[in-house]
């Protein structure tokens, strides 16, 4: 599955979140923005910005 940050447009490394599910809040490892997971399917994870990062 691929997760692209809506803010910086980079791929997010979510390996630190082994039980990732809809409703989880994660941080973009590139820009530091906080993201809420909205939808997951076999190819893509979609998310929205919850809080501005660094």
| Structural domain spans, the chain | 2-51
Q: Which tens digit of pLDDT belongs to each residue from 28-46?
A: 999 999 999 999 998 999 9
**What is the bridge-based pairing of β-strands 2-3 and 25-27?**
unpaired
Examine the pLDDT at 19 and tell me if it is beyond 90: yes
Examine the pLDDT at 53 and tell me if it is beyond 70: no
pLDDT at 1: 86
**DSSP state letters, 11-22:** BP--TT-TT--T
Phi-psi category of 9—alpha, beta or left, where left has phi over 0 and alpha has psi -120 to 50?
left
What's the pTM value of the predicted model, to 2 decimals?
Answer: 0.85
Dihedral sign, Cα of residue 29, residue 32, residue 33, residue 36: positive
pLDDT at 39: 96
**In this structure, which topology does domain 2-51 adopt according to CATH?**
Rubrerythrin, domain 2 (2.20.28)
Distance, in Å, from the CA atom of 44 to the CA atom of 37, rounded to the nearest integer, reads: 11
Mean pLDDT, the chain, rounded, equals 92
């Amino acid at each position: 599955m691929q997760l692209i940050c809506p803010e910086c447009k980079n791929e997010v490394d979510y390996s630190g979140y082994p039980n990732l599910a809809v409703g989880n809040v994660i941080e973009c490892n590139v820009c530091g923005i906080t993201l809420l997971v909205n939808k997951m399917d076999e190819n893509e994870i979609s998310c929205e910005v919850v809080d501005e990062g660094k």
